[in-house]
Amino acid sequence: NLSPNESKTIYWHSSYDNDFTNVANVSAKDELGMQVKDSDSASIHVIKETAPHLTIYKIDSPDPVVLNESLSYSIVLRNDGDGAAINVSIIEAYDNNFVFEGANPSPTSGNNVWQLGTLEPGEYFNITIYGRVENRTDMIMNNVSFNSSNAGKGWDVEYTDVLYYDANLEKIAPDNVEAGGEINFTIIYSNDGNANLTNVTIVENYPPYMTFVSASPSPTSGNNVWQLGTLEPGATGEINVRVAVGYAPNGTLVVNHVYMNSSELHREANKSIVIMAKPKLNIVKSDSPDPIEGGNVLTYTIVVRNVGNGNATGVVVIDTFDASYLTIQDSDGGTVNGNKITWNIGNMGINEQLTLTIKALTAAVDINTTIYNFVNVSCNEGSAAEDSEATLITAPPHMGYPFLEIEKHSNVDKVCLNETVEYTIRVRNIGDGAAHNLEIVDELDDGMEYVNASPVPTMNGSKLIWTYDELQPGDEIFIKVSVKMTKEGIRTNVANVSSDEVYDETNESVEVINDTEPPSSHKVFHGKVENVTVFGLYILHYIPKTTYITIEAIDKPLNSSCGVAHIYYRIWKLGNDSKWHLIFNWKEYFGEEIHLYELRGYGKYEIEFYAVDKSGNAEKVEWNDVYVYESEDEIGN
């Protein structure tokens, strides 16, 4: 109820986007029950306020992107408000692995700032940025932001996956291999990137001199192709290949290549190998017949082979035979020199064989005799081989008869008068029967004088006699005789042996020299020496204290047993009183070093010396002055 003059106020709130009129109605009944009512209205004009609204977004292309390939970003800034945005700028923040290459439109500052000014309602701004990813990474993040004086700030982030393709291919093998042998190659491959490699194929290339033998795993095509299909990141594998190596010149370099191909990349690896080839010579010698009776022809067969894996050059075969028992009749093209036969073969290829045949006449022998024949082969490459062959030369059928042989040798060919010579007498029974009642006689020349003998002989004038009951086949007797040579000239000594069955004799001559000439001696300087002629009369030798002196002497004739027996010397020194003072008197020289400085220091010395030979001939005294200086300024002063 509402009493007279009473009022009531009602408040309410509402919001409108447009102009509007509000109508209010009131109705009631009075005390008489009559309807009363009233209405009123109010119109409102709505004034609208305008404001900008900016949104930004960024799109990459392509995603994922391949490392080092082109990547672009599209940036769109839009004003979705009903008011203008003022002082608008866009700032791009690049990932450290992204390389900026350009933009459309170009930045207004640096490479990442665009000042746009005002952006009207409904207006948008588009930027395209070009670049690439240069470092390995799985993902990059690029951030873009905007600023406006009246529209605030905003940003967007774009993540781009990065694909990088990488692979490793390696080939492992020894650095060298023998020609004719085999070698193993190990191929190791792997996917070192972060993306699949597709249509992967390994292709092996076999160089000259190498032939496929086997592989694990086996090739999928031919003998050199392996189809691997897709290789995931981190995947790895290994292929083992075995090849045969042919014959090639020593030091031949071969390069073995292997290739890894895929839809995304290509890799290549190689291995250099040196083929080692060297010859190996083999030689075998045989004889026929063996045994062989003396006086018949013996055949030697020499077989030479190169069993190595390289050619042999400058091949030489040398056969050494016993010339005492063999006379070469046919050397098969070889050159005979003394007891050697030489063949200059030249070159021998791999597995090449050569046969040489020698025909030799054997000497007749009284007792069975084994001879030895040696052969060797060599080449420029250093390979060598040798062989030997023993041959039994048989004597004629046993006759049971002795055969005595006597030899006599002196210990010198020339000797000085009155010196002693030693003779050796050797008696052998080279027959096949015993010799009985042996008598050995050595008759001395009239220029010889008996000294001694072993064993002691029986003397009969100038004859020395030894007797033995018997000498069996193959046995021998040795006698030593010493005599003094009393006459000069050629002295000949005759010796003979006799038995009930056989006789033999020999002789030996020695030249006896009457040595009447004295020896000659001289001094030798060891170190620095300066020779200065004084007054044109004699030579003064200047030496430093480090130079020492030795004395040498010779006696003629040089090729005889005559020689120097003794050397004597003494040394003087010139004193401050200008007189010579004897340091030591005559003494025998035995090859010692003479250091003058160590005797009396610096100064002038005189050395006197002479030699005596074995015949007693003495040379006249030689002398020389020697000055030991402290400074080279003293030379010649």
Residue range 490-519: average pLDDT? 91
- pLDDT category of residue 49 using cuts at 50, 70 and 90: low
pLDDT value for 467: 96
pLDDT value for 401: 84
- pLDDT category of residue 48 using cuts at 50, 70 and 90: low
Query: Are the C-beta atoms of residues 163 and 187 closer than 8 Å to each other?
Result: no
Range with the lowest mean pLDDT among 2-6, 32-36, 193-197, 284-288? 2-6
Query: Are the C-beta atoms of residues 51 and 82 closer than 8 Å to each other?
Result: yes
Q: Is the pLDDT of residue 336 over 70?
A: yes
Cα–Cα distance measured from residue 460 to residue 442, given in angstroms and rounded to the nearest whole number:
10
* 343 or 416, which is more confident: 343
- pLDDT category of residue 608 using cuts at 50, 70 and 90: very high
pLDDT value for 87: 96
Residue range 290-314: average pLDDT? 93
Q: How far is CA 516 from CA 111, 510, 513, 615, in A?
A: 119, 19, 9, 8
Q: How far is CA 583 from the centre of its chain?
A: 63
**What number of residues does the chain have?**
637
Range with the lowest mean pLDDT among 392-396, 404-408, 502-506? 392-396
pLDDT value for 9: 83
Residue range 243-249: average pLDDT? 90
pLDDT value for 16: 67
pLDDT value for 27: 87
Burial code (b: 16+ CB inside 10 Å, e: under 16) for 220-229 equals: eeeebebebe
pLDDT value for 250: 87
pLDDT value for 331: 94
Cα–Cα distance measured from residue 556 to residue 610, given in angstroms and rounded to the nearest whole number:
15
**For residue range 461-481, what is the model confidence (pLDDT) as tens digits?**
999 999 999 999 989 999 999
Residue range 488-511: average pLDDT? 92
Q: Which of 588, 564, 583, 563 is nearest to 626 (CA)?
A: 583
* CB neighbour list of residue 598: distance below 8 Å, 6 or more residues apart: none
Q: How far is CA 499 from CA 8, 335, 427, 429, 471, in A?
A: 190, 45, 12, 11, 9
Query: Are the C-beta atoms of residues 604 and 574 closer than 8 Å to each other?
Result: yes
Residue range 356-362: average pLDDT? 95
User: C-alpha dihedral over 618, 624, 628, 629, to 10 degrees?
Assistant: -170
**For residue range 338-357, what is the model confidence (pLDDT) as tens digits?**
999 999 999 998 899 999 99
Residue range 575-582: average pLDDT? 94
Residue range 156-168: average pLDDT? 94
**For residue range 513-530, what is the model confidence (pLDDT) as tens digits?**
888 889 899 999 999 999
The pTM for the full model equals 0.47
Range with the lowest mean pLDDT among 137-141, 486-490, 491-495, 561-565? 561-565
pLDDT value for 43: 85
- Bridge partners of 378, per DSSP, are 316, 384
Report the share of the chain in percent with pLDDT over 70.
98
- Bridge partners of 72, per DSSP, are 61, 130
The mean of the pLDDT values for the chain is: 92
Residue range 192-204: average pLDDT? 95
Which phi and psi (to 5°) does residue 597 adopt? -60, -35
Residue range 595-607: average pLDDT? 95
**For residue range 74-123, what is the model confidence (pLDDT) as tens digits?**
999 999 999 999 999 999 999 999 999 999 999 999 999 999 999 999 99
- Bridge partners of 467, per DSSP, are 439
Residue 495 tokens read as 């010796």
pLDDT value for 594: 96
Residue range 596-602: average pLDDT? 95
Residue range 24-34: average pLDDT? 85
Cα–Cα distance measured from residue 139 to residue 96, given in angstroms and rounded to the nearest whole number:
11
Query: Are the C-beta atoms of residues 131 and 98 closer than 8 Å to each other?
Result: yes
> Where do the domains of the chain lie, and which CATH numbers do they carry?
167-276 (2.60.40.10), 298-394 (2.60.40.740), 404-513 (2.60.40.1530), 520-634 (2.60.40)
pLDDT value for 60: 95
Range with the lowest mean pLDDT among 469-478, 553-562, 574-583? 553-562
pLDDT value for 534: 79
Query: Are the C-beta atoms of residues 488 and 588 closer than 8 Å to each other?
Result: no
Q: Is the pLDDT of residue 365 over 70?
A: yes
Report the share of the chain in percent with pLDDT over 90.
76
